[in-house]
Structures are given as structure tokens and as C-alpha cells.
Structure 1
Amino acid sequence: MTDVNALERILRSDEDVPPERAAELSAMLDQPPIRDVVRLVERSTATRAAVVLRLLSRRRSIQVFDALDAAHQADLIDALGDRAVYEFFAELDPDDRVSLLDELPAEIAERFMRTLDDSERDITGVVLGYPRGSIGRRMSPEVPHIYEDMSVDETLEKLRLVADDVETIYTLPIISRDRLLVGVTSLRKLFTAEGSAGVAELMDEPVFAGAHDDAEETARWFLPLDILAMPIIDESGRLVGMLTFDDAVDIVEEADSEDAARSGAHEPLQQPYLSTSLFRVVRSRIVWLLVLAVSALLTVQVLGAFEDTLAAAVVLSLFIPLLTGTGGNTGNQAATTVTRALALGDVRPRDVLSVAWRELRVGMLLGALLGAIGFILASLVFGLDIGIVIGSTLFLVCTMSATVGGVMPIIAKKVGADPAVFSNPFISTLSDATGLVVYFLIAKSVMGL
């Protein structure tokens, strides 16, 4: 068995493979499991990845290209050359083809579409016709047409003819002659039924989604049902495609990766880290850093406004990192929890008051516990006045931060923004500024500054 790490070292040392070594490397690349070759491509630059794809056999190169993220596929286009790319593009499933087209400039996408034959262009056009973010954009339009008046034998014969051309044959939608969805059945039921039986006798009530439904929401409620696929219908109830389990998993993984990235104050890379250019990594982070740097000026303004208070009691400056850190962490915990609950459908925008009330009480309990500890420790070291200031501030900061952190993602959802964008980075800054205002106001009142 070929050592993929050894292959990686060879390719790294010599990206321009000499002709006399091409056959040797090609044979070596055909030996490892396909997952190892995919990992090798994901860890490589576009130039080196293109070399690997060219050295692979046609079947394995198509498998590897299909396994890559759409953004990574787009990066490889220039390195691969038109002939290879057109071949890979034609072999993709229509939904994967559309994902790649979404990553490309309009003129290149149009050129790619012209390379398809009429039938493939029409099928791809069906998926392209639905708006981005809809489940219609992620479905497979290649579905066997099984009519309710067909027999089991007729159905099985039809499946044998179209099995290579459709996305799945394990979950089968049943339609009327005018393509209205009437039920679903499974290949297992067909195999175990009498050949003369009608498929209408074997069908169950269908679980389905509308083509214009939100892709992430649809995928999240579909996955826990533990079914292999479900029909997608248009506004008239006609069958237009199927959503498979693996496509739903991809949708949820993409959404979770995006939320995790934005919660950490950067944009998602959308492809493996080592194959992402330095420019793209910088671009994914710089905007957020600039936004946070500007918003952090609020904290500087607060400190400037209470400069006299700090000068009168320098000891107050020692606790600023503790208070701002506690407030930011409390708000981030609440925001992360509620953002996840929104994604799973456990919380809806209309639940904003319930969430606010719940997080208010959680924040009060957390603040009471942390405040009590802060009061005791600060009083023992710095005196009773400082203990009261620290204990009271921790209580109020935790209460405010938890409430704001819980509500902000819901507000974002309600106005059509990404909840993850409104959560951790902005909440940290807001908690810092408001927490310091509360801190200095309490200090001035308690200590008479």
C-alpha cells in the first residue's frame, strides 16, 4: 500500500512531475483508499492538487473532484485547464454542479453551462431556477417517475432502466399522472411484494418540503427523521426533486461551520485550511478585526469619561479585566446557546420575551454566585467598600450580559441577519462598555468619589 505522506513529500518537492515519473506516480496514487487521496488534495496547493487529479485514473479523479467543497473546486479550475474541468463538471450531480456555479464568476459559469448537452443543461437549469438558500437549490431533480397506477413489476423494470441516471432509488416518491405527489414507498417494500400488486397499496403518507423552503431549516428538521430521502414539491404540489440524507448533512455542516466562524469573529474559509490562499485567510479575518477595533473605541471613551474616578482610586483599575472578561463571557455563553437553539428550531423569534426572562434569571443567579465570591475576596484584600463595588458590579454585569446575549441573536433573526454575526464579537464589546459604566457609577456612589 502506498504511503500518502510519502506521495505528498514527492509532490511538494517537485510540482512539475517529469514525464518519466508520471506513470510511476499515477500507479502509486491508484493504490491508497479514496479518502486518503481526497485528504492529499485538500492539503495541497491548487497547482499540486491539479497534478494529483491529472495523474489519477479517470474514475478516481472524478470521485476525488466530486468529494471536494465547491469553493475548492472553483480554485482548481485555472490550474486544471478547460478540458479536464469540463469533463469533471459534466460528471457532477446537478445540485453539486449548481454549488460550483455559485462559486464562479457569471461569465465562467455561463461558459460551463454551454459545455453541457441539452438534457444535462435543462436538469441543471431546474435547480438554478430556485433562489439561493432554498432547498430547491440543493435538491436532486433526477427522480424516477413512479405512478400510482403502476404495478410492482412495472416499477421494478423502470427502476432497472433509470437506476444509473437518478440520485436515489431507495426512497421512491409516488405521483399521479399529472405529477402530483401522492405518497412514498421504498425499494425494500417493492422487493418483498407480489409482482402483480399495485404500488398504491404499498405507499405511505409522504414527508416532503417545498422547493422554496429555507435549506438549513429544512435540513435540520429532516435529519432527525432518519429517512434516506424525501420528495421536494413546487407550489402546485408537483414533484420536482429529492433531498437525500447526505445532502442534508452537507447543508447543516456548512451552516454550523459558518456560525462557528462568525462567532469567532471571522468569515468561514469554505475549503480546507491548508489549501486556502494566504490572501483569502487574511480577507476572512481583517474586516471583523477592523469592526471590533472601531467598536472597542466605546470602551476607551468610557475609560476617558471616568478618568478622574480612576485617578482618585487607582485600585479600581485592577478589576477592569475581571469585570469586562466576566461580562463578555456571560454574554457569549447566552448568545451561543440561543443561536444554537434557533438553528435547531427550539427557539423562534416570537419567543424573545420568554428567552429574555429566562436569561435574566440565569444571569441573576450567576451574578449572585460570582458576586458573592468577588465580595468576599475583594473585602478581605482591599476593604469593605471595594468588596461591595466588585460584588454589586459582578451581579449587575452578569444579569445584563446574559439578557442581552440571549436576545441579540433573536433580534438578528427577526431582521433577517445572521444570528452568529450579532452574537459573540459585538456582545463582548457591548458588555465591556456597559459593564465599565455600571462599575464606575457604583464605585462613585459607594466610595463617594
Structure 2
Amino acid sequence: MLSDKSRPIIKATLPLVGAHIQEISRRLYAHLFSTHPEFLDGIFNRGNQAQGTQQQALAGSVIAFAGALVNTPDRLPENLLARVAHKHASLGIAPDQYQVVHDNLMRAIADVLGESLTPEIAAAWDEVYWLMAYTLIHVEAGLYSARAVRPQTVWRQWEVEQKIRETDDVVTFVVKRVDDRLVKPSLPGQYVTVQMPLPDGTRQPRQYSLSRADNGEYRQFTVKRVHGAGKPEGQVSTLLYTQVNVGDVLTVSVPFGAVVLDDAAGRPMVFASAGIGITPMAGMLSHLAKAGSRLPIMLLHADHDEDSFALRGQILADIAALPDACTYLWYERGSNSRLPVNGVFPGEMDIAQVSLPDNATYHLCGPIPFMHEVRKALIEDGILPRDIQYEVFGPELWQADYE
């Protein structure tokens, strides 16, 4: 909890720091990479750095946490903290790295605020940082322990057994382990980080959802190549799509992810996804089919068209294996379909077009605006927020913590 001395200072200076947090974040990373260039090798996503989204993610996270300390001290942003901790664990972040970030953050705050930064204000924001850091360090220690790894040992070598083209932009990799160390099976809904060597010799990490149930011997993850539509080409996704083939060896983390399937309550489940957001849903459906689940299951998926619907063969096979499951699709480019589904609609997803099961739990994954709209519609329909889970890709982690 924030101390009584710091609380009024943080409350008073939140507007000031919030107004400058983007510049503070920009300077933080400039200082960090100039003094610790090793942080650019295997930890930070250079694409997000170049686009400024990493800076925005840090800014949003810090302000959200500071605001919660002041305004809702009994209800911290647990979803945000859990997502960040899992992502950190998938990168092998160690406790001592928090000190490095702290030193560069406080230097950046001093640069930007100048004479406005009194010793009292600096001390209060120092307290905010360490409250957040120690919370994350504690959670991450538990994640490492649960996987029986340390920050230095989250990485394993896996050989590509299959490379499956799903769509024009999506490929699935099936990899097998190549050493004798114990591997725990993944949990439904988790992801792995792939650490990819670049032509300049550095390594770049990217997270990809596990799209099929595994036993630890083989793993399956699915990659969408980032390119086109005004977006810069994704370095790692393009290399994986074009250069990595059967027989190649990849460096992959053990699985992490805060949003996992929980079918113990025996309630109906609804999965709502858009685009490549289908990948964690595929993993969850695979687990349910493998377990022989008899629960009522509903899959709602939106995409550009049928050819863009990745993993559709695997998913519909799993749906067919579940005795009480149904599928509804929305295609932006029309409602033509050859798939054995229960309904296909043109346009964007509208949950009012289907009859949702009573007492269900919900899993959402897709672009942030998509999840906002679906979640809003569900809540307006009487669904409790606690029954809606959502997975977030990339640096937008902080944006989804809107409980």
C-alpha cells in the first residue's frame, strides 16, 4: 500500500506526470539502451520500440498502477499485473533487472520535470515504482517455481517437425524437444516466446499462442506474418514465415499466460475471437476435445472471409468431437461458406444474432476494439464481468484492464 506521506503527493502530481509520461518513457528507453545495450538483445521488441508502442505500454501501465494506488487502493489492476508478470516470465526477466529500469526511469523523470521534481515528489514516485516492481517480482517468482525453471533456464531448443500453411499469411509450426530435460505440458490458452536470431546477430522475442494441446514432447504454435495495410513488415514473423523450415531448431520459452481455460466449474463456455485471435481458442478447444468434454461449447469467430480463417480444419474437427458444441461465423466480405457450421453472418460480429447459453463463461481474443465491443455487449446483456476473460497480444496489455 502507498504510504500516507506519498499518497497526497501522487494524487497531486498524477496530472503532471501523466501529461509528460510519454516523453518520460521515451527518455527512459533512450537512457536504458545507451547504458545497457544488452537489453535490446533478446528482451525488448525492436518493432514496438520503433513504433513507440512499447513506450506507450510502459506509460499506460505506470499511470494505471499509480492511479489505482490513489483511487482504489483495495482493488489494484490485477489483470494488468498478471499479464505483465506472465510476459516477463516468458522473457526470463530477473529481479536485478528491475533496479536497472528504476535507475533509468528516475533519471528520465528528472530530465523531463526538471525543477518541478522536488525530493518529496521523487521519493513518492520512487515508492510507486517499487510497489509495482516488488508485486511483479513476487508473482514472477511463483511462475518460475510452478514451471520448475529459473529466469536463465526458461529457454529450450525445439526442432521444427512440421510447417503447415494455414492461410496466405498464417503458418503453424509443430516442434519437438531435442533434449532430455523434463517438459511440463502447457495449459490451455498459454503462449510461448520464440527468440529469433536476426541477420545483425541480435535476438528478437515474440509471443505466439499454443494452438493445440500438447504432452511436452511436441508443441504447436501459430504465426501470422505482419505486413501490408500500411503496417511495417514484422521482422520475426516474416523470418519465421519465409526462412524457418522443417529440421531447423528454434529457441522457445516454456509456456506462460494468465488467461487459461478452467472447465472445473462445469459451466457452458463461449469462445469469441477475431482474426488471429483464434489461436488461443484453438488451443482451448483442442484440450476440451482431448479430454472428452461434454460441456456445452459455443465458438463465435469473425474474419475477413473463409480463406482468412486460420486453423479452421483443426478447429472444426475438434468441435465435431465435442457432443454439445456449435459454431457461428461472421465474415466481413460476405456470408459464403462451405464449412459445416451452425450459421454464417455478413459483417462484424453481433452477438445479438445468436442465442447465448445460460450461466456461461466467456473467453475473448482479438483486436482491442473488437474485445471492447463484444465485452460491452455481453455486459449489457447481463453477463457479469467476472465471467469474461480476455487475452491480449503485444504491448497493448495495459489497455485491456478495464474491469
**TM-score range normalised by the length of the shorter chain:** under 0.3
Greater RCO, CA 8 A, separation 6+: 2
TM-score (norm 2): 0.25
TM-score (norm 1): 0.23
Larger radius of gyration: 1
| Bigger fraction of residues in strand | 2
